[in-house]
Amino acid sequence: MTVSKIDVSIETNDKPAPPPKHPNTCPRCHSHYRDDELEAALWLCAQCGHHFPMRARARVASLADPGSFSEEAADLHSEDPLQFFDLRPYTERIAEAEMSTGLADAIVIGQATVDGRQAELAVMDFAFMGGSMGSVVGEKFSRACDSAAERGVPLVTVTSSGGARMQEGILSLMQLPKTVCAVEDLHDAGQAMVVVMAHPTTAGVLASFASLGDILLAEPGALIAFTGPRVVQQTTREKLPEDFGLAEQNLRFGHLDAIVPRDELRPTISRLLRLFDAPV
């Protein structure tokens, strides 16, 4: 059969994957940590500064004033509009992700204060099906925009996502225009959005709300790409620059305002909220 150019077997030509490393082993310098060590250090490698993946609730705790976070729409759950079945039913994948993450979907939203200033938080979690955006992520992000607009406070969004969720088919694609419209409504209400792109922020999330922040920040080394390096390499056979798609390249090409290490994020966001003059 003929296969169009863009689609040339994405996985089939792959070399066998290297044996999985322990998630608490630093992929850069191979230092190994206990959970509590990483938790105390914002999931940063004490040796080389590598940013380990950070779960949504830990992220919220690292940004919000203690006890100030009030979660919204926590009970929204995915449906299975297509009765999608690949190697396993979508409903089973959802149930498994819920069990392993303790979340209902790949985003947590709610009200909080940061250094005493009110904000709305929308924080994605890559551990929930790769942070993929289906109907629930789109709806919750949109509600975060509305909540910020209604209360007259800025929205702080932390993204970490592989893109749209394939198992919800075209409805996942529709979350791109949906979240774009929500950001436009927020902007029309005169409120700002700060986006922090964590590793990875790719495809459908980058091509919608993540790119529409008034201020775009990224964590060091985060992959920020519409098409990731592997697919680019396999479809175009181009030689990739060394830091292809990373935050550092995106900053150089003018797509970001700043790269902010995780331990400086809270003071940076606090300063931005002061600049936006959010009511105390």
Partner 1 sequence: MKNVSLLGGARLSGELERLQRQLDRIGAEPTDEDIWRSVQLARHENRPYTLDYVERMLDDWFELHGDRADGDDGAMVAGLGKLDGRTVVLVGQQKGRDIQERTRRQFGMPYPEGYKKAMRAFELAERLRFPVISLVDTPGAYPGVAAEQHGQGGAIARSQAEMARLTVPTVACVIGEGGSGGAIAIALTDRVLMQENAIYSVISPEGCAAILWRDAAQAQKAAAAFKPDAAHCLELGVIDAIVPEPEGGAHTDHDRAAALLAESLRESLDELDGTAGDELRRRRRARFRSLGVFA
Site for partner 1 in 69-128 (CB under 8 A): 76-79, 81-82, 84-87
Residue number with CB closer to partner 1 (113 or 202): 202
Residue 156 beta carbon to partner 1: minimum distance, rounded to whole angstroms: 18
Residue number with CB closer to partner 1 (139 or 219): 139
Residues 133-162 that bind partner 1 (CB under 8 A): 134-136, 138-139, 142
Q: Which of 134, 79, 76 is nearest to 110 (CA)?
A: 76
Residue 222 beta carbon to partner 1: minimum distance, rounded to whole angstroms: 13
Residue 224 beta carbon to partner 1: minimum distance, rounded to whole angstroms: 8
Per CB under 8 A, 4 contacts partner 1: yes
* Long-range CB contact pairs, 268-273, < 8 A, 24+: 268/217, 269/63, 269/114, 269/119, 269/156, 269/194, 269/196, 270/114, 270/115, 270/117, 272/154, 272/194, 272/215, 273/114, 273/115, 273/117, 273/119, 273/154
**Tokens 């005493």 appear where?**
116
Binding flags for partner 1, 208-227, as an x/- string (CB under 8 A): xxxxx-----------xxxx
Residue 246 beta carbon to partner 1: minimum distance, rounded to whole angstroms: 11
Residue 122 beta carbon to partner 1: minimum distance, rounded to whole angstroms: 15
Per CB under 8 A, 164 contacts partner 1: yes
Which of 127, 175, 186, 217 touches partner 1 by CB under 8 A?
Answer: 175
Residue number with CB closer to partner 1 (244 or 276): 244
Which of 177, 263, 275, 277 touches partner 1 by CB under 8 A?
Answer: 177
Please choose, out of 19-27, 44-52, 62-70, 180-188, the segment that lies near partner 1 by the rule CB under 8 A: 180-188
- Report helix angle 175-188 to 135-151, nearest 10: 0
Residues 21-80 that bind partner 1 (CB under 8 A): 76-79
Residue 269 beta carbon to partner 1: minimum distance, rounded to whole angstroms: 21
**Tokens 């992959």 appear where?**
223
Q: Are residues 58 and 39 in contact, defined by beta-carbon separation less than 8 angstroms?
A: yes
**Tokens 């979350």 appear where?**
175
Which of 158, 182, 217, 259 touches partner 1 by CB under 8 A?
Answer: 182
Q: How far apart are CA 90 and CA 167, in angstroms?
A: 6
How many residues at the interface with partner 1, by CB under 8 A? 75
Q: How far apart are CA 112 and CA 122, in angstroms?
A: 10
Tell me the DSSP string of 153-205. Answer: --EEEEEEE-SB-GGGHHHHHTHHHHHHHHHHHHHHTT--EEEEEEEEEEHHH
